[in-house]
C-alpha cells in the first residue's frame, strides 16, 4: 500500500466521512464526538468546518490515515 493513499487533507467532513477515516460506524462516531459537543459546536449543514475537524482530531487523536 502506498503512502499517497493514506494522506488526507483537513477539510470539512460529514459524520459519515469522519467515521470512515476512523474506521468506525456513524453511530460510534457520534458517541465519540458527543462529550465534546460544547467545544465542537453544531455542524454547518451536513459538514463540520475545518476548525471543528481540527478540534475533533485534537480530542480523539489524529487518525492513522493522516500524515502531517
In-domain check, residue 65: no
24 Cβ partners below 8 Å, 6+ apart?
32
pLDDT digits (tens, 9 = 90+) for 30-68: 999 999 999 999 998 999 999 999 999 999 988 776 655
Query: What is the per-residue pLDDT for 37?
Result: 94
CA distances from 56 to 9, 16, 25, 26, 30 (A): 14, 14, 16, 14, 11
Q: 67: how many CB neighbours lie within 10 A of its CB? A: 10
Q: In the structure grid, which three cell numbers stand for residue 66, read together?
A: 493522516
In-domain check, residue 44: yes
In-domain check, residue 68: no
Identify the domain containing residue 56 by its residue range: 3-60
Average pLDDT over residues 19-28: 93
In-domain check, residue 50: yes
In-domain check, residue 67: no
Look up the pTM and report it.
Answer: 0.79
Amino acid at each position: 500500500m502506498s503512502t499517497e493513499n493514506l494522506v488526507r487533507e483537513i477539510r470539512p467532513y460529514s459524520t459519515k466521512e469522519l467515521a470512515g477515516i476512523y474506521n468506525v460506524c456513524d453511530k460510534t462516531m457520534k458517541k465519540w464526538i458527543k462529550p465534546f459537543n460544547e467545544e465542537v459546536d453544531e455542524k454547518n449543514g451536513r459538514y463540520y468546518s475545518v476548525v471543528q475537524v481540527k478540534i475533533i482530531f485534537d480530542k480523539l487523536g489524529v487518525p492513522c490515515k493522516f500524515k502531517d
